[in-house]
Amino acid sequence: NAPLPADLADLADLKDPYETGKLSDQEFVEQSLDILNHPLTSDEFVAAWKNIFSPNLPMWEVVHTLKKQGHRLILFSNTNAIHARSFLKTYQDFNLFDHHHFSQEVGTIKPLPEFYQSAIENYDLVPGETLYLDDLPENIATGKKFGFSSWQYDLNDHQACVAWLYTQGITLAKSS
């Protein structure tokens, strides 16, 4: 991985404060525009900033199936207010989740233990009965420390996730 240009590295330094709610949308946008020193308007920056998501269709099939089977679904996400508003509006599948545990709302991020502890407390989770999927190894490591049955999701190997879910007692349709 090549190092980021200085201005992008400075912009990356705003990520955690913004994703933990320590910066407002306005503060984040203004500071980002100052760092980038680019003639974007605030609206242009926000439009570009929120346009980073694409759906993972095989995983949406899993989410739909789990919901139909009556499983309680909680989305854990390191995110910020601009992204959350955008993806909740754009991708209606997020409404299938019973709860959204967003870093900007709880004031801490994965993989910090406080993120997981607040989810356990807020949603009365029983760690040994909780299945946890995430794509980052550091998040999975913390999930395991809390006793969650954890799987590191690989976008390029969705079938491995389906097979793991099967070992956890969850059967999905063949198309997943």
Other Cβ atoms less than 10 A from the Cβ of 106: the count is 17
Residues 92 and 11 in one domain: no
Q: Which pair of tokens denotes residue 170?
A: 């969850």
Residues 112 and 40 in one domain: no
Q: Which pair of tokens denotes residue 103?
A: 């870093």
Per the DSSP assignment, residues forming a β-bridge with 100 are 75
Predicted structure pTM score: 0.90
Q: Is pLDDT above 60 for 176?
A: no
If we measure between CA atoms, which residue out of 107, 115, 100, 102 comes closest to residue 146?
A: 115
As a whole number, mean pLDDT of residues 8-25 equals 93
Find the domain containing 33 and state its range.
6-50
As a whole number, mean pLDDT of residues 30-36 equals 93
Do 92 and 124 form a contact (C-beta atoms < 8 A)? Answer: no
Domain count, the chain: 2
Residues 78 and 20 in one domain: no
Residues 66 and 111 in one domain: yes
The set of residues, in sequence order, having a beta carbon less than 8 Å from that of 103 and lying 6+ positions away, is: 19, 20, 21, 77, 78, 79, 80, 109, 110, 115
Q: Is pLDDT above 70 for 5?
A: no
Residues constituting the chain: 176
Which residue has 């993989």 as its token pair? 111
As a whole number, mean pLDDT of residues 132-149 equals 99
